[in-house]
Structure 1
């Protein structure tokens, strides 16, 4: 449900990992809900295409090429929001990686390092700079981190990913507790398997895995990226004004089985 003017009308929102998948879907959903956007990702060409698309529909949007592992990149994206729109009201920290699936004893250190660096340090970088900007805003703000059902329970053959997403949950709760008194809410979405370019390709190569996932999910399907984006939009909006420190599964019931 939205208001006449949109769930995020007059909100300035930063979205990371916006060049594809859930991030690109979030840019479109948030724009439709009236947000002014800073979209950030590593692929400049994809960002340019999305900016052109959204501006064609009347959205005020700018882009920032950013690797969340690099603190200076994150700072520049947050500064761009403040310089362009005067403040930062909300952020969807969506960027992250999955990594190879393999037994723990067979994984190379580089896999662990890469996943933890991106998913944990990247979220840490985003939180620090976003919170600093929101502390300058008398209205506070709202931050949504993208975790995973892997942040709620174990997934076989994905130990570093599971560890990283549990850490994102921990950072979410820690920041929520620390900044609630400042009017800053911090929550997380925990998606189940969500259809994207990579997942569709994976299912095409392993059709039996798609059937197994559907069988393990009460709603018997995988998510559309827009469904994750809709949940994040609500958590970024004033409709969730008394919600902080929450980890919202968006997984068709998978994590409750």
Structure 2
């Protein structure tokens, strides 16, 4: 417990997958963690698990598409621990998939709302609190899809996640003079419930595995550790980056 001692963090999309593992990792490294997602039951179970291990956590359930929810997350961090140092805006959705000419305007807009607009709204309210605490780190979860690799049938997902990289760079330039670093992690395939639902046959799993130079998919912990690095003082001179954590998917096509 020595990489985030005394720090306070927000993690969205914390009920499962990368977000859940990252929240536990932050807490194990000494941070108080406000965990956010829509599913209250899963958040309460996560808080109980963190506290049973000696960590500190609080849960706020809600919808990241709503600006008031981000205000509530920040307010909880300040009310509970007096400040905010770190925010991991991780909530996301695959959205409406399939041929682009069949994707509805509402489906496209919803992917943008969850993956991109929600990240902006989070940072909008997180940044002033982090700056007031003396500076810190905001991290977004993007993806290698739409950045260094393209698939058909995921236009809304790719566009929204690529937009996060532009947001990362713009906010890094804006907030750098005030000691607030902003970065994005770009995972490849990660062994989460979403991944298993999408790749429910051996053939699909073999195809996805083969996209990566390491010939396997990541564990959530492997991505969480990259996030921990960017959140920590070890990354004190790193801002505005799109950090690939993709097992080499960006360098291979076979």
TM-score range, shorter chain: over 0.9
Q: Secondary structure at the match of 2:240?
A: coil
Q: Residue 244 of structure 1 aligns with which residue?
A: 239
Q: In 2, distance between residues paired with 1:101 and 1:255? A: 22
Alignment length, in residue pairs? 251
2:91 pairs with one of 90, 95, 99: 95
Contact 2:97 2:156 in 1 (8 A): no
Structure 1 residue 151, shift from structure 2 partner: 4.3
Provide Cα deviations, 1:74-108, integer angstroms capped at 9, x if missing partner: 10110110111111000110001112321111212
Structure 1 residue 60, shift from structure 2 partner: 1.3
Residue 210 (1) aligns with residue 205 (2): yes
Q: In 2, distance between residues paired with 1:11 and 1:33? A: 9
**Structure 1: gaps spanning 5 or more residues:** none
Provide Cα deviations, 1:166-217, integer angstroms capped at 9, x if missing partner: 111111000000000000000000011111112123322x321211121221
CA RMSD between the two structures:
1.1
2:13 pairs with one of 6, 11, 17: 17
Q: Residue 67 of structure 2 aligns with which residue?
A: 71
Residue 175 (1) aligns with residue 156 (2): no
Structure 1 residue 145, shift from structure 2 partner: 0.4
> Which of structure 1's runs of 4+ aligned residues deviate more than 4 A?
none
Structure 1 residue 47, shift from structure 2 partner: 0.5
Contact 1:151 1:168 in 2 (8 A): no
Structure 1 residue 25, shift from structure 2 partner: 0.8
1:230 pairs with one of 225, 228, 231: 225
Q: In 1, distance between residues paired with 2:165 and 2:97? A: 21
Contact 2:96 2:156 in 1 (8 A): no
Residue 187 (1) aligns with residue 195 (2): no
Matches within 5 A, 1:58-207: 58-137=54-133, 139-153=134-148, 154-204=150-200, 206-207=201-202
Contact 2:84 2:130 in 1 (8 A): yes
Contact 1:12 1:89 in 2 (8 A): yes
Q: In 1, distance between residues paired with 2:151 and 2:124? A: 29
